[in-house]
Structures are given as C-alpha cells and as structure tokens.
C-alpha cells in the first residue's frame, strides 16, 4: 500500500482509476457513485490512497454511507483519522449544530460564516466540494423543498447539486420543478437514470414529465415501460396538458353498487395502502359506467352489513375529460373537493383528479397572469441562461418599441408647437403617465373579473359606467391639482387649463380602454393579461400626447 | 271576496297588508317572506286579492313553495290561472328548457332574448321582479356559485338578489364572498338573521366573518352564542387572521395511542358523519399533548384488533398557531396535504387546518399581488360604489403624480437644450419607456422569487449578474435598432449615438433597480408588489431623461 499520489502504479485497476479521475474532474457525481457501487470496499480503499487529497475528499463524498465504515477499515490510520474528521464535521452540520466550534478541524469550521439557511448550506458545500453534505441534507428534505433549493441555484451549481439527489427521489423532485428547470435537468440525465426515475412516478406526474421532454426522449421512456403501463400512459397523453384528462390519475378505486361495506373493507385490507387523497370511491356498473360516489368517511361510520347503494351519492357530477383545467380548478375551489371522477363522453369512468394537482394548477395560473403582464410568459427559471432570457424578453421590448415610436410620432406632429412653447415638453409625460396608471387599474380589475368568470356581457355596461364615473371624479381632482402646479411652475394660466383638460380626457379614455381592450382581446382569443397593458399604454400615451399638444397648438399659437 | 284592488276594505288584516305593502315597495324580500310564513294560506290568498297585479306577482314570488298549492286553492279561478301560468314559465326556466317557446304566455317568453347564462337569468328576473325565479335558481346552486353571481351584480341588484337566498344558506354564501362584498351585505342584514346565519357556519368561517364585521356587530353575534361556543370562538379570534391560528378549525378528531382500531371504528359510527376533509386523526396523550397522526386510510385497511400506536406516525410535524398562513400554504402545497394539526408553544393540540381554506389562501395571495401591483389593494368588490373606488385609487394616482413631477423636473433642467433641438422631445419618451418595460420584467421576476422564498441573500448577487447580462444584451440590441431609426428619421448621426447610449445606460440601471428595489423594500417591511413598480418607473424615467438630455446637452450644444 504505497502512498504515491502523483504517479499511480500501473496495476490491474488503472482503468477504474482513470474513469474515476475523469469523472472527478468533470464533476459527474452520478457516474462516480455508480463506479464506486460496483467495487469492493477494499478496492475503494486502495483507490482512495492513490488519489490527491482533494480528489480523495471529493471521491469520499460520493461513497455510499452504508460502506463508509468498511472502506475506512481498509485504510491506513492517518487517512482514516483525516476522513473521519471530515465526516464528523459533516454530521454536525447535518444535525444543525452549526454554531458549535468544530474541534481542531478549523478549516472546515471556517466555511460556515453564514450558516442560517439550507440554501447557504448548499452553497457552502458546493464551494468546498463537500457534496456528501448536500446528499445528506437532501435525504432529510421533502422532494418539493429540494426542488425549491435547486431552483434557487444557478445552472452549473444546480447540475452538481442535482447529481446528489438519490435515485429513488429524482422522479419526485422532477415533478415539483417548474417546466423550464425540469426540462433542462432531465435533458442532462442519462436515459437509463431518467427511465429509472420515471418508473417511480405516479402516472399523472409521468405524463406531465413526458409532455415536457423532447419527443424522442419521451418515446424512449414510453418504450421502457411494460405493455400495460404504456397503454395507460398513451391514453392519458392523448389529452391536452391543460384539460381534465391531462390532470387525471388512474389510481381510483371503483366499486359496484350491490356489494356490502364489509366486502369493501376486506378488499381494502388486501390493498394494504390506499392511494393518497382517497376521500371517495367511485361506483360503476359492469360496463364501467359511472354511477355515483361513495365517501370514505361514510364507509368509516357505516355498519359492515350496509350496502354500497344505500350509502352512495348519485347526484355527484363527474367531470368530462375534455373540460379545461381552469374549470376543474374553479370547481375544486368552490366545492371544497379532494378528488373528482373523470368520465368520457359515454360516461365511462376514466380516472380521477386530486386536490394536490389542482393546487399546483391554481398557483401556476395565478403566477402566470402576473408574469404575463410583464411579458415573462415562459420565464419559469429564475436562473435561465442570459442568452435564452435575453432572447425571450427582447420580443416584449420590441413590441413596446413599436408603441413607443407610435407615441413619438404623435409628438413629432407637434414639433412646431414644442419649439415655440418648450414647457409643453416638460409637462407632457405627466399627462401620459396619469392616464397609464388609471387605465392599468381598470385593466387589472377587468382581467381579474374575466379570470373569475364574474364579468359577462350582461354586467359589462354597468362596470363601464362605474369605471367612467371613477375616471371622471379622479380626472377632475387631479386635473385641478396638476393645473394649479403647472400655473405656479410656469406662471401661465392657459397651460394650466390645457393640461387640466388633457388629463380629464385621458383618464376618461383610460377607463373606456381599460374595459374595452381586455374584452376585445378575449373575443380575438388573445390572453388579455399577456398583451393588455402594452395596448393600453399605447392608447393612453397617444391620447395623452395628442390631446395635450393638440389643444396647446389650438390655444397657444 | 271583493276584487277592489285600489281601495282595500278596512277589516282586521289591514295592518298586515300595510306592512306587506311597505315591505313590497321597499323591496324587503326577507321581511315579506317572514310575514307570509306566519299566515294561513287562506289569509294569504285573500291578501293577494287585495293587491294590484304587480304587487300580487311580487308577493307571490315570496311565498314558500310548500304552501303555493294551498294558497292557489283559496283563490278565484281567474287569479289561479294567472299565477299558475307565471309558475309554469318559471319552472321551465329553472329546468333549463329555455329555448322552447313558452305556451301562450308570450309576455314572459319575450323576457328571454339572451338566456345563455345564469347571470343573465338573474338580471332578467330582477328586471321583471320575478324574484321567485332567483330563489329557485339559488336553491339549486352551490353557495360558492351564488357568491360568484352576487359579486357579478351592481350594489342595488345585489341587495335584492341577496334577500332571495334561503336563510339556511346565507352563512355559507357569506363565507364565499370577498371581504368587501361580505361586509356590505352583512351590514344590510337584520341582526337576528345575521346571528341565525352565523350559527350555521363552521367555527373557522364564523371567525373570518366576525373579523370582517364592525366590532359591535361581531360582539353581538358572539353574545348570541352559548358559553362553550363563545369560549371556543374567542380563543380562535385571539390569533391574527393570516396566521395558522386564524385559519384553523376545531372539528378535529383526537384519539389516544393505546386504543384499538375496532374501538375507534365504533366511536366513529356513533358520530354518524365525520367532519369534511378528515383524512387523518390526531393522536394525543391525556394532557392533550400532540403525539402524532393516524391516517384515515390506515384505519380503512387495518384489522380491528390493531392498536393505534402501531399505525400512527410520530414524525408528522404539527404547525404552530403563530406561523403565517403563507408558510402554512406553502407546506400544504409542497407536501400535498389535506389537513394539518395546529399546536401551541406547549405542544397542546388546538385544532386543524384543512385544504379547502388553504386553497382560498393561495388564490387570494396570488390575486392580491396582481391587484397590488396596480395599487388596487383593497378593491375586492368589482362594483364598489364610485366614490369609494375613486377615493382609494386617488391615493395611487397621487403617488404617481409626485413621481411624474420628479421626471418633469428633470426634463425642465434641460429646457434650453430642448428649445434648440426639439427632436429630443420627440425621442425622449422612447428612452424612458424601454427602461420601464425592461425594469418591470426584472422586478416581476424578483417579486416572484421573494414570494416563493427562492431568492435569498446567497443567490442575489448571481441573479443581479444575470439580470445585468440580460440588460446589457438587450440594451445593445435595442440601442442599435433605435439609433438606426432615429438617424433615418432625423438624419442626425449624433442624435443616434446619444439615444443609443441613453438606452443602454437605462436598461442596465433598470436591471439593477429591478433587483435592488424589491430587496430594499422587503428590508423596510414594505410589500414590494405594492410600491415596487412606482419606484422603479421613477428611477427609469429619471435616469432615462437625465442621460438622454444630459448627453445631448454635452454633445450637441
């Protein structure tokens, strides 16, 4: 057992060292772990001895905890102490004893200046190459929290941390990631690992994942499934992602109306564990036609000899697979549901939708309309590469530039006026800005009304009158205030009167535009949240500049 | 039985007619119904005869369906036929047979030109005073849907429709209304009715309602409860509305660890019906200390002789009553929960939070940050009175006016330059607008990152670098485009160079401001969604105008 690190002896394990070294320099954590898993602890020990201290620590961090002690027993004492110390420090970190000075090992302790958050723990571990700490932390966290941490990391760090997620949990973590991040991390995985992760997912989550992946990868995953699974997945994949069919799962428990509660309970005991969110069973006939629901809480409180048909509810409406996920979410929210049966046009029971997926839909929808209003429709990854981000946002800036040039063109019409009364140039942004703010308030109210389904053709006119009233009152108020300020500033009564009129006109126009634009877009099948504010500010800019400078031209020249 | 409608005979029921007439003219549906309920059908019939045809139909629409036939039997045939026809037409409307021509009764049929939606049904019924139609429709709808319809109505119509909600359901409808609407409708109710409605609510919903009502009304409702209920409500009221304690309900089922499943099942059967969303029971010791959970689905699949302690999970973390509802919502979302135990600092089980309330929290939070970005924080009623709306929005417009004047002041510094090169006035809004759009994209991303907890001190610098990179790339791109357009337009190379520089500088500043402003506001405990965009556009306006006009002054003069 030599300790010559710089020049490893050329015996029979050279190739393994080589591939391990390559993997270490390339930071391919998963590959290192796969290599290490196939080796005997003694072999790993001799391997560790041949590595440089940095490489040794890095490789050590990839060794499975179950063989750690065995590997240690094969090492010379000096190395054993060194690695044990690193381990102890890690254990303390993992146990949250972060504020206690860590004996001797001051180098390790010095790394933890700001140990408050799990995120900073991950960052520190990444900076120091102590990947095992990340693995240990991840093992204690819920997959959703791991997903959140991964999304908080920039791309390179994210890939490294991602490689430390246990194979059994990669699927669950993937499920909780936002679309863009999920695509990118899945694309970096070996197909073999991806298929393995996919197998551990619930069918509805797997369908989501396949829909987010490139076509060929998706097909490869499907081919790795067995016949029955594949048929099931393919039927689920046939529904669009934002439909009830795309949201549904197929883990429902269907029962016949004529059985007794006792029989049902015996059957359930055979299952050992019910699928999560099973608050009701679905009653079907022989042809799998949906007939009604049986609530689990009725089963809990019923006598064993009671029949399902006496306990079931036949007036519970199922949802059609084609219905939009938005409608489904609204129904869950309004009726406080946990699960909902999905049927096809022939009333055949297809599956069920559960509240956990609906909560995700609600959050995503709400997030989307906020992001869309800033033209960030697809930007679900906070740390997307600069180039990708720039390209996507450039589109929005380009559209805005067109409208800005339109406003500039309107100003250009009055160049002569501006030349003679330059104070108009000083005041004109005020008119445009007040209109833009007032209009965007109306716009936001209308977009929300459309999203909640509370705004219809029958009450639009009433809302328009109300908003016009608000525009009139605020128009009068601020017209007077601005006029007074303008008169004080420029000592010109005419300019005060002109700006007051322009502000009043612009606020009234803003109210009309704020109501009309989203309704018009809806009729043209454009999402009002996406383009509404650009169109609105164009209107208020153009009207504001035109009224103000136009009036000035008429009055002052 | 005379049919003199204009001059009722002065016999013993005059006072009842009088109060009914008053109630009819004041449109007090509830009072009419209360009056009618105490009367004998024969008396109602004679009353109806003394009314004018319009009043008769209106009163008829307030009669309880259960006595309709009895009242009819006491009426002369002519009136009977008339009222029956109105009833039939209503029944068809209620059954959705809207597109079928309604026999003879052409007048009624003509009302249904646009019968597609429930909302238009309500509007038509209100216009024609056929309130019974509304009551019938409401009886078939879920309370949440009724709340939605009420929110879609302007104030006067809303009050009328509200009076047609059955007493048993007013509480449930109130629960689903937005705060502002809820307050207004509750304020219009008689205290007696309000207390009656309050009694039918779940404690958590009742607590919400009391918190939204004026103090005195809330206290009156509390005093109408019995001792035990009041003590319970008061302890729940002691937690802030947006904390776990404010969200919790007290309908949990707590069990001891040492009992057997069979015993538990016998106990559950005694309850007959379990509280909704009971997916788990809570295990406590003798002192009501929380020990763990027992999932309902484990009970369903367990043998009766198994003990609770063998099936319970002790590693399920309860939530502290003081925790914020935001944290609670995030945990529900991440861990796909249906219910969650709430404990105090001494680990005493206080109650439980269920997913239906969390879904409301999630939707409200998401809605709020969108509404806040437009300064519509409190505007939850689309049809709030014009004056109330104007006053609230005026604040926002006033703040914006200050920032607009700041921008105007910056422009004013360069009045001399503008006078000499008037084309600068034409182009300057473009610089400000591009900065504003780019900045608001970064701002929205950061606000979302802060809301999801993914942005922390450790990754802020990386995000800032990324956003600066995006600002640089888009700045270069659009600087070139705008410069080219400006040169073509004004034929002046210097102006092209100046505007290009100004746009690049402004987009870089926008990126920094977009990251820095929300972080700063957060540190000052101001909601970044509320004031972020105003501060941001101030920065981009000021920087845009200053750079552009400043450079122009240096180069062109």
Partners of residue A367 in chain B, C-beta under 8 Å: 366, 448
Domain B254-373, CATH class in plain words: alpha beta
pLDDT tens digit sequence for A396-412? 899 999 999 999 999 99
DSSP A41-102: HHHHHHHHHTS-HHHHHHHHTTS-HHHHHHHHHTS-HHHHHHHHHHHHHHHHHHTT-TTSPP
Indicate the CATH number for domain A14-239.
1.25.60.10
For residue B390, what is the nearest residue in chain A, using CA coordinates?
A470
Mutation for A interface: B386, B486, B511, B532, most A CBs within 10 A? B386
Dihedral sign, Cα of residue B458, residue B464, residue B465, residue B466: positive
Closest to B474 (Cβ–Cβ): which among A390, A462, A481?
Answer: A390
Q: Which residues of B touch A456 (CB under 8 A)?
A: 117, 119-120, 152
Judged by CB atoms closer than 8 Å, whether chains meet at A418 and B425 is answered as yes
Best A172, A264, A401, A491 member to test B by mutation, with max B CBs in 10 Å, is A401
The whole-number average pLDDT for the span A481-495 is 94
A514-534 mean pLDDT? 88
| Chain B contact for A73 (CB, 8 A cutoff) | no
Between residues B95 and A506, the one the model is more confident about: A506
Contacts of A300 in chain B (CB under 8 A): 265, 268, 274, 296, 299-300
Q: Which of A27, A26, A21 is nearest to A5 (CA)?
A: A21
Beta-carbon count within 10 A of B99 CB: 8
pLDDT at A475 over 90: yes
CATH number of A254-354: 3.10.580.10
> B120 — contact with chain A (CB < 8 Å)?
yes
Tens digits of residue pLDDT in A319-363: 999 898 888 988 888 788 889 999 998 999 999 999 888 888 887
Identify the DSSP state of A274.
P
Q: How would you write the pLDDT of chain B (557 residues) with one tens digit per residue?
A: 444 444 444 444 446 666 777 777 766 667 777 777 777 777 777 777 767 777 777 777 777 777 777 777 777 777 777 776 666 655 554 444 434 333 334 333 333 333 457 888 888 888 888 888 888 888 888 888 888 889 888 888 888 899 888 888 888 888 888 888 888 888 888 888 888 888 888 777 788 888 878 788 888 888 888 888 888 888 888 888 888 988 888 888 999 999 999 899 888 888 877 888 888 999 999 999 999 999 988 888 888 889 999 999 988 999 999 898 888 988 888 788 889 999 998 999 999 999 888 888 887 777 777 788 777 776 678 888 888 888 888 988 999 999 999 999 999 999 999 999 999 999 999 999 999 999 999 998 898 888 777 888 888 888 999 999 999 999 999 999 999 999 999 999 999 999 999 999 999 999 999 999 999 998 888 888 877 888 999 999 999 999 999 999 999 88
Put simply, whether A117 touches B (Cβ < 8 Å) is yes
Would you state the structure tokens that stand for residue A278, as one six-digit string?
């099973």
CATH number for B14-240 (one of 2.40.50.180, 3.40.50.1820, 3.60.21.10, 1.25.60.10): it is 1.25.60.10
**CB-hemisphere CA count at 13 Å for B404?**
26
Assess A512–B contact: CB distance below 8 Å, yes or no.
Answer: no
| Residue range B386-556, CATH number | 1.10.357.20
Structure tokens at B389: 């709306």
When pLDDT is averaged across residues A32-42 and rounded to a whole number, the result is: 74
B296 touches chain A (CB under 8 A): yes
Q: What is the 3-state secondary structure (H, E, C) of A471-522?
A: HHHHHHHHHHHHHHHHHHHHCCHHHHHHHHHHHHHHHHHHHHHHHHHHHHHH
Report the pLDDT value the prediction gives residue B2, as an integer from 0 to 100: 42
How distant is the Cα of A303 from the closest Cα of chain B, in angstroms? 8
Residue B357 region by backbone torsions, left for phi larger than 0, else alpha for psi between -120 and 50, else beta = alpha
Does A398 touch chain B if contact means CB atoms closer than 8 Å?
yes
Shortest distance between the Cα of B302 and any Cα of chain A, in A, equals 6
CA angle at B306 for the pair B305 and B310, rounded to the nearest 5°: 165
Residues A393, B441: C-beta atoms closer than 8 Å: yes
Q: Is A488 on the interface with B (CB under 8 A)?
A: no
> What mean pLDDT comes out for the span A25-50?
72
Residues of B with Cβ-Cβ distance to A145 under 8 angstroms: 334
Nearest CA in chain A to B329: A359
* d(C-alpha A488, C-alpha A475), whole Å: 20
Give B410's contacts in chain A (Cβ within 8 Å). none
Asked if the C-beta of A91 comes within 8 angstroms of chain B's C-beta atoms, the answer is no
Return d(Cα A430, Cα A428) in angstroms, integer.
5
**Per-residue pLDDT band at A89 (split at 50, 70, 90):** low
Tell which residue, A381, A363, A326, has the closest CA to residue A177. A381
Give the pLDDT of residue A28: 67
B356 at the A interface (CB within 8 A)? yes
Q: Is residue A105 scored above 50 in pLDDT?
A: no
Measured N-to-C along each axis, helices B355-373 and A325-335 cross at an angle, to the nearest 10 degrees, of 120
pLDDT reported for residue A359: 85
Pick the closest to residue A438 from A485, A477, A406, A398 (CA basis): A477
Domain ranges for chain A: 14-239, 254-354, 386-556
pLDDT in tens, B298-316: 888 888 889 999 999 988 9
CA closest to B382 among chain A residues: A445
When mean pLDDT is compared over A44-58, A261-275, B483-497, the highest value belongs to B483-497
């Amino acid at each position: 057992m030599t300790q010559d690190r710089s020049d490893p002896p050329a015996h029979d394990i050279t190739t393994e060292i080589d591939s391990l070294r390559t993997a270490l320099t390339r930071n391919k954590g998963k590959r290192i772990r796969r290599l290490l898993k196939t080796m005997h602890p003694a072999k790993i020990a001799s391997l560790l001895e041949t590595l440089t201290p940095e490489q040794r620590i890095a490789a050590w961090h990839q060794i499975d905890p179950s063989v750690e002690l065995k590997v240690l027993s094969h090492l010379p004492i000096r190395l054993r102490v060194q690695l044990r110390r690193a381990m102890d420090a890690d254990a303390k970190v993992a146990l949250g004893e972060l504020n206690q000075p860590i004996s001797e090992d001051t180098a390790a302790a010095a790394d933890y200046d700001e140990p408050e958050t799990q995120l900073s723990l991950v960052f520190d571990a990444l900076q120091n190459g102590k990947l095992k700490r990340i693995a240990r932390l991840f093992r204690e966290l819920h997959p959703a929290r791991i997903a959140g941490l991964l999304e908080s990391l920039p791309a390179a760090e994210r890939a490294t941390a991602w490689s430390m997620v246990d194979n059994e949990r990669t699927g669950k973590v993937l499920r909780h990631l936002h679309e863009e991040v999920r695509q990118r991390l899945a694309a970096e995985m070996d197909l073999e690992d991806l298929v393995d992760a996919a197998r551990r997912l619930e069918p509805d989550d797997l369908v989501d994942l396949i829909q987010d992946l490139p076509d060929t990868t998706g097909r490869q995953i499907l081919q790795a499934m067995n016949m029955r699974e594949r048929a099931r997945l393919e039927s689920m994949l046939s529904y669009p992602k934002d439909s009830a069919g795309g949201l549904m799962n197929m883990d429902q428990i269907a029962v016949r109306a004529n059985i007794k509660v006792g029989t049902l309970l015996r059957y359930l005991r055979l299952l050992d564990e019910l699928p999560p969110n099973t608050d009701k069973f679905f009653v079907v006939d022989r042809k799998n036609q949906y007939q009604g629901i049986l609530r689990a809480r009725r089963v809990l409180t019923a006598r064993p000899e009671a029949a399902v048909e006496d306990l079931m509810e036949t007036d519970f409406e199922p949802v059609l697979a084609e219905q939009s996920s938005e409608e489904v979410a609204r129904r869950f929210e309004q009726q406080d549901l946990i699960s909902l049966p999905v049927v096809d046009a022939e009333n055949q029971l297809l599956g069920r939708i559960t509240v956990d997926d609906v909560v995700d839909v609600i959050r995503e929808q709400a997030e989307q309309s906020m992001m869309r209003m800033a033209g960030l429709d697809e930007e679900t990854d906070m740390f997307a590469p600069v180039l990708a981000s720039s390209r996507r946002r450039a589109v929005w800036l380009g559209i805005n530039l067109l409208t800005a040039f339109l406003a500039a063109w309107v100003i250009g019409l009055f160049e002569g006026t501006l030349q003679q009364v330059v104070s108009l140039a000083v005041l004109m942004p005020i008119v445009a800005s007040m209109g833009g703010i007032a209009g965007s308030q109306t716009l936001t109210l209308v977009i929300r009304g459309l999203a909640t389904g509370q705004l219809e053709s029958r009450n639009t006119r009433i809302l328009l009158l109300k908003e016009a009233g608000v525009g009139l009152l605020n128009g009068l108020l601020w017209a007077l205030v601005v006029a007074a300020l303008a008169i004080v500033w420029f000592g010109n009564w005419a300019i005060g009167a002109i700006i007051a009129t322009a502000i009043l006109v612009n606020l009234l126009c803003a109210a009309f535009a704020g109501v009309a634009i989203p309704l018009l877009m809806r009729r043209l099948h454009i999402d009002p949240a996406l383009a509404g504010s650009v169109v609105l500010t164009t209107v208020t800019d153009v009207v504001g500049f035109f009224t103000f400078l136009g009036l000035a031209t008429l009055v002052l020249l």
